Amino acid sequence: MRILRLVALSVAVILPVSWLSIVFYPSAQDFMKTNPFWNGVRDFSNRYQAEVTSTLDKYLAEPKGSVLIEIPYVPYDSQQLQQLVAFVGAGGTLVVMDDFGYGNQVLQALGSDMEFSGAPLLDPYLSYRNLRFPQIADLAPELKGLGIDHLTLNNATALNVRGPYQILAQSSDTSFLDTNNSATWDEWERKGPFTVVASTRVANGTVVAVSDPSILINSMVERGDNGTFMKWAMGLAAGNTRVAIDASHLTKAPLDRSKETWGTVRERLDSPYSQVLLVGAIMSLTLIPMWRKGANFDQGQ
Amino acid sequence: MKRAARLILLTMLAVVAAGVLPVSAASPHENPDTAPFVFDGAAVLGKYSEALDAVLQKDSAAVESLQGQVPLANIPTDLRDTVDMFLSSGRSLAQIVFQITAKLDKSRELMGQFRPDDAQKAAEGMQEDLAEARSHLGVMEDKAQRTGQRWRVDSATQGSALRLAYSEVMYRLARVRALLDLLGEISQSTGLQIGKLTGEGLTLRPTSLTLRVEPGAAFVGDTVSVQGTLRSGATNLVGKQVTILLDGSPAMVVSTSNGGGYRGRIQLPYRYVPEMNLQAIYYPRGNDIGTYLGSSSPEVAISVLYFNTQLTLDVPQGGNPGRNLKVNGLLYYGHNMVPESRNVSIYWDGALFGEMTTRETFSVDLPLPADTSLARHQLMFSVSPQGKYAPTQASAEVEVSKIVPTIVMDTPTAVLLPLTQYITGRIYSPLGPLQDTAVTAALGDWETSSPTSDDGSFRLSLRTGLVLSLVGTQKLVVTASPSEPWHESASASASLLVVNFAGISLVFFLLMAAAAFGAVRLRKRPLPAVQPVAVTPVAVAAADVSAPEPIVPEAQGTRSHRDVMLGLYRRTLQFVQRVTSVVLRPSHTLREYADDCAPRLGPLGGRFREFTLMIERLLYSRHGAAEPEVLRAGDLNKGFTDREDGGRENT
């Protein structure tokens, strides 16, 4: 009995504390919407009304006017890849932002010859603070026309582009791919310029490949003209644009998973049926003890 | 049971914590606001070379483009203006060189048309242009030197990337100066020609110049033959000087021989670039001024060949101060012939660490100094150019850290003070046992030390003393201070139960003594005298029951009404206590006590309540006791004494 009482007490304390932590404790994980720190995407999400979600059904169902941002840090299964192909095929805009993740899986599934190099793109001259923050000033006229002067990347890679793709941004000729991670240019390492943003039409949709997802994070989104660039990318979808960042392929901490689960629960509770059920359950729980007391009273009489 | 409960609680906490606590994963980016500033002098100087190449090609747009990059470039703030001025002067210089060349071409063309006045007009301001160009070049030289000083090129070692980049800039500056000198000579010649043409009414004969370079591809350092013909119409010009330009700057001067032909050999500089351009130019000198017009040949590109060298390093990721860092390397030449030897310079954080000669593979032990800072260091191997073999370099990052030894110790679970304690143990690291390492053990204020033996073991005898505390836990800290620079100091601790045996004995003795002394004193103390009770109405029924003193005070001295009433109540109280077995506690008020006892007293309960209220009024108000109240008190008390007496009679 004492153990049961202890367990009950622990549950009574831990559950509310956990719930409060899940709801109010901010995430510190990369690319999380609830992360207000330098590596979250809260600013981007708020400013551009971009939903960070793992449930992409409504976007996949209505590809036209939808922009889906993929940050592929978790591998895809074949069904997920098929969904993306169908999304683009039906007129959706897919922005694949990757550096050292699984972006090539997506590009290959779309039948693209583009690929993410996977080697760090460093620039010892045109960079912010140090060579890991390349500044990209070689931009396509359509970006320049929007007043975009340069992009600032953060630990990026490059795109290997073979084929009729629209090159939208390239690194400088002092940049190089640091294949041996020595942080200096070695004789055999390729020198720039390298493509960092390219786009192509696939069926009825558009695919934009960006070789650095970090331009979305709070500390980068307003650096250089990264924000304007993302605004342009989101404007690629015609009509009333809906923007979503696919959170299902981001690496998550346990807190983020808990937040996500809570989000799902809350979403489900939002439906009228769920609310009726919930009210019914609460009423039942409240009234059962009273019914029992009433029964005992009757028996006593 | 308790253990099970704890286990459940801990498990639940762990599960919940795992669900809510944030975990930071490996990050694919870094915080731009806290990222370190790292500037690359070689990259900045590389841009200077690019700008100078553009000047030689008279391409001011290219220099302007480089200048446009400056706001985005990673340049130290104190150098930003210098770089900007270098490029600004470069852009102006490229424009001026272009203008001078255009003026010369136009002037030459007009002279060919025998329009000396127009030629004069076209050539106007050339000397001023040249002066301005030299001024810009002066600014560029000055800024290049300042940049070199900012990066301390002088203290950079030969062969370092910075030194090489600076040399390239200086080489190009010299070439631009040579170009300006050449343009000055041509300009002077043109001016003289125009003068002669105007004064003497001469007709200038146009010239044509050809250039052939053989072979079309050559290794660096090899010589290529240049040949061509200088003609004026159908006439071969003999004994005229032709200047050969290599990548825009003068490389050699040859004279035409019979038939107007010229021939020469130029050694390709050891610049490992894919292509070089050659051009021949002729401008009249001496007696030719006023006779011939100058001319230039088309540019001829020559493919530059050299053997690429690839250097691969096998460097351990980590190193330790004071120990050797073993580096293996491989120089790969593809299908090309392997040279006899190559000079390799080794740089540690940009400073020359050592030099060696090798051929294809090498294995070198780099002794890291004992005072090497514990951080990531840059190790670079630079292979110098050697003839046809291009230079190469490879680098790696080495994390220098100290090895933390492991201390295994055997300590007593409890320490009895003030006895000597023995602590034994062993110290080792991945490199083996630590020999002759100073080991110190500290427990509170007591400390002892001793060196380890050959097998890394130690035995410390820790002499303890007396302290004020009797018993408690204390931390024993064993610290190892290795003499080797690659080992970090390490410490291990254990929480020991410290029992102050001597102190406890002393305190026990003192307590016993105090107790004994107290007992003796108590035995000798006289018992207090009992005050006789002078007033009736009834005798004390049971003297063995003691009434609570603080609540109902004893009557003292001459007995007043109040004393009588109190005495009667005390007796009643004794009776009630005995009958009901309810003890009057200090926390009880009289009224509470009466309320507690009343149900057990039956019909007497009411009387007892009444009596209690009377006494309360007497005790806690200013109301004095009057005769009727004393009588009533006697009456109430009688009810109890009668019952008591009746009880006795029955027994």
Domain-embedded: residue B27: no
Domain-embedded: residue B377: yes
Q: Count CB neighbours of B293 within 10 A.
A: 23
- Among residues B400, B431, B463, the one where a domain terminates is B400
- Residue-wise pLDDT tens for chain A (301 aa)? 577 787 888 788 887 787 777 777 777 778 888 888 888 998 898 888 888 888 788 788 888 888 999 999 999 999 999 999 999 999 999 999 999 999 999 999 999 889 999 999 999 999 999 999 999 999 999 899 989 999 999 999 999 987 778 999 999 999 999 988 888 888 778 888 999 999 998 888 999 999 999 999 999 999 999 999 998 988 877 666 789 999 888 887 777 777 777 777 777 777 777 777 888 888 888 787 777 766 655 554 4
Task: Give the closest of A3, A28, A133 to B22, CB-based.
Answer: A28
Is there a contact between B308 and A187 if contact means CB atoms under 8 Å apart?
Answer: yes
A110 in contact with chain B, both atoms CB, cutoff 8 A: no
Predicted confidence at residue A293, as pLDDT, reads 65
Candidates B229, B233, B209, B206; CA nearest to B281 is B209
- Phi and psi at residue B616, to the nearest 5°: -60, -45
Chain A residues within an 8 Å CB radius of B394: 180, 182, 186-187
Question: Are residues A106 and A134 in contact, defined by beta-carbon separation less than 8 angstroms?
Answer: no
Is there a contact between A28 and B395 if contact means CB atoms under 8 Å apart?
Answer: no
Which residues 205-224 in chain A show a CB within 8 A of chain B? 213-214, 217, 219-220, 223
Least trusted range by pLDDT, from B165-169, B431-435, B497-501, B639-643:
B639-643
Please tell me the distance from the alpha carbon of residue B555 to that of residue B471, in angstroms, as a whole number.
52
Which residues 229-248 in chain A show a CB within 8 A of chain B? none
Same domain, B447 and B382: no
Same domain, B59 and B149: yes
CA dihedral A162, A166, A171, A175 (to 10 degrees): 10
Is there a contact between B28 and A133 if contact means CB atoms under 8 Å apart?
Answer: no
Nearest-CA residue of chain B relative to A261? B19
Please tell me the distance from the alpha carbon of residue A192 to that of residue B28, in angstroms, as a whole number.
21
- Among residues B487, B503, B519, the one where a domain terminates is B503
Predicted confidence at residue B531, as pLDDT, reads 45
Nearest-CA residue of chain A relative to B308? A187
Is there a contact between A25 and B308 if contact means CB atoms under 8 Å apart?
Answer: no
- Phi and psi at residue B472, to the nearest 5°: 170, 180
A135 in contact with chain B, both atoms CB, cutoff 8 A: yes
- Residue B260 is given by DSSP the state G
Chain B residues within an 8 Å CB radius of A123: 74
Domain-embedded: residue B255: no
A188 in contact with chain B, both atoms CB, cutoff 8 A: yes
Which residues 261-300 in chain A show a CB within 8 A of chain B? none
What is the residue range of B199's domain? 40-204
- pLDDT-derived band at B26 (thresholds 50, 70, 90) equals very low
A60 in contact with chain B, both atoms CB, cutoff 8 A: no
Same domain, B410 and B396: no
CA dihedral B564, B570, B574, B580 (to 10 degrees): 110
Would you say residue B247 has pLDDT above 80?
A: yes
Chain B residues within an 8 Å CB radius of A23: none
Domain-embedded: residue B290: no
Same domain, B422 and B478: yes
Please tell me the distance from the alpha carbon of residue A208 to that of residue A88, in angstroms, as a whole number.
11
Chain B residues within an 8 Å CB radius of A15: 16
Please tell me the distance from the alpha carbon of residue B192 to that of residue B201, in angstroms, as a whole number.
13
Candidates B286, B241, B279; CA nearest to B101 is B279
A175 in contact with chain B, both atoms CB, cutoff 8 A: no
Task: Please give the interface size between A and B, counted as residue pairs whose CB atoms are below 8 Å apart.
Answer: 165
Task: Give the closest of A15, A130, A254 to B74, CB-based.
Answer: A130
Please tell me the distance from the alpha carbon of residue B309 to that of residue B389, in angstroms, as a whole number.
7
Task: Give the closest of A128, A186, A188 to B74, CB-based.
Answer: A128
**Two tokens at B69?**
């990059």
Nearest-CA residue of chain B relative to A30? B27
pLDDT tens-digit readout, A135-185: 999 999 989 998 999 999 999 999 998 777 899 999 999 999 998 888 888
The stretch B466-482 carries a mean pLDDT of: 85
Predicted confidence at residue B525, as pLDDT, reads 57
Please tell me the distance from the alpha carbon of residue B168 to that of residue B351, in angstroms, as a whole number.
20
Task: Give the closest of A18, A100, A130 to B28, CB-based.
Answer: A100
Would you say residue B310 has pLDDT above 80?
A: yes
Would you list the domain boundaries of chain A? 42-118+193-255
> Taking the mean position of all CA atoms in its chain, how far away is CA B312?
29
Residue to mutate among A186, A249, A250, with most B CBs inside 10 A, is: A186
Helix (H) or strand (E) holding A97: strand A93-97
Please tell me the distance from the alpha carbon of residue A224 to that of residue B71, in angstroms, as a whole number.
12
Is there a contact between B31 and A39 if contact means CB atoms under 8 Å apart?
Answer: yes
Same domain, B47 and B152: yes
Please tell me the distance from the alpha carbon of residue B119 to that of residue B104, in angstroms, as a whole number.
9
Is there a contact between A219 and B33 if contact means CB atoms under 8 Å apart?
Answer: yes
Chain A residues within an 8 Å CB radius of B44: 125
A1 in contact with chain B, both atoms CB, cutoff 8 A: no
**Two tokens at A140?**
């396509």
Please tell me the distance from the alpha carbon of residue B470 to that of residue B511, in angstroms, as a whole number.
14
Would you say residue B1 has pLDDT above 80?
A: no
Is there a contact between A30 and B28 if contact means CB atoms under 8 Å apart?
Answer: yes
The stretch B293-301 carries a mean pLDDT of: 88
Chain B residues within an 8 Å CB radius of A39: 27, 29, 31
pLDDT tens-digit readout, B574-586: 888 888 888 888 7
Is there a contact between A125 and B46 if contact means CB atoms under 8 Å apart?
Answer: yes
Is there a contact between A182 and B395 if contact means CB atoms under 8 Å apart?
Answer: yes
C-alpha R_g of chain A = 25
Q: In terms of C-beta density within 10 A (0-12 exposed, 13-18 middle, 19 or more buried), how is residue A270 classed? A: exposed
Same domain, B476 and B411: yes
Task: Give the closest of A18, A132, A150 to B72, CB-based.
Answer: A150
Predicted confidence at residue B201, as pLDDT, reads 61
The stretch B313-341 carries a mean pLDDT of: 89
Q: In terms of C-beta density within 10 A (0-12 exposed, 13-18 middle, 19 or more buried), how is residue B546 classed? A: exposed
Nearest-CA residue of chain B relative to A255? B20
Is there a contact between B25 and A128 if contact means CB atoms under 8 Å apart?
Answer: no
Is there a contact between B309 and A2 if contact means CB atoms under 8 Å apart?
Answer: no
Same domain, B324 and B442: no
Is there a contact between B31 and A183 if contact means CB atoms under 8 Å apart?
Answer: no
Same domain, B460 and B339: no
Task: Give the closest of A152, A172, A184 to B380, CB-based.
Answer: A184
Domain-embedded: residue B638: yes
Task: Give the closest of A14, A73, A181 to B12, CB-based.
Answer: A14
Which CATH number characterizes residue B449's domain? 2.60.40.1940
Chain B residues within an 8 Å CB radius of A186: 311, 393-395
Chain A residues within an 8 Å CB radius of B380: 184
Chain A residues within an 8 Å CB radius of B68: 137
Length of chain B: 651
B433-437: long-range contacts (C-beta < 8 A, 24 or more apart)?
B433/B457, B434/B405, B434/B480, B434/B482, B434/B484, B434/B487, B436/B483, B437/B405, B437/B480, B437/B481, B437/B482, B437/B483, B437/B487
Same domain, B389 and B412: no
Same domain, B438 and B570: no
Would you say residue B244 has pLDDT above 60?
A: yes
Would you say residue B272 has pLDDT above 60?
A: yes
Chain B residues within an 8 Å CB radius of A127: 73-74
Least trusted range by pLDDT, from A40-54, B243-257, B529-543:
B529-543
CA distances from B257 to A29, B229, B260 (A): 80, 9, 5
Nearest-CA residue of chain B relative to A22? B20
Is there a contact between B22 and A251 if contact means CB atoms under 8 Å apart?
Answer: no
Domain-embedded: residue B223: no
Residue to mutate among A148, A184, A218, with most B CBs inside 10 A, is: A184
Would you say residue B498 has pLDDT above 80?
A: yes
- Of these ranges, A61-65, B81-85, B375-379, the one predicted with the greatest mean pLDDT is B81-85
**Two tokens at B319?**
């190193």
Would you say residue B132 has pLDDT above 60?
A: yes
Quote the mean pLDDT of chain B: 83
Q: For residue B176, give how far its alpha carbon lies from the nearest alpha carbon of chain A (Å).
A: 23
Same domain, B196 and B51: yes
Please tell me the distance from the alpha carbon of residue B362 to that of residue B360, in angstroms, as a whole number.
7
Please tell me the distance from the alpha carbon of residue B649 to that of residue B651, in angstroms, as a whole number.
5
**Two tokens at A18?**
């956990």
Number of domains making up chain B = 4
Q: State the pairing for strand pair A121-122/B217-219.
A: unpaired
Same domain, B466 and B592: no
- Among residues B171, B204, B237, the one where a domain terminates is B204
Q: For residue B376, give how far its alpha carbon lies from the nearest alpha carbon of chain A (Å).
A: 11
Q: For residue A62, give how far its alpha carbon lies from the nearest alpha carbon of chain B (Å).
A: 32
Nearest-CA residue of chain B relative to A254? B19
Nearest-CA residue of chain A relative to B67? A126
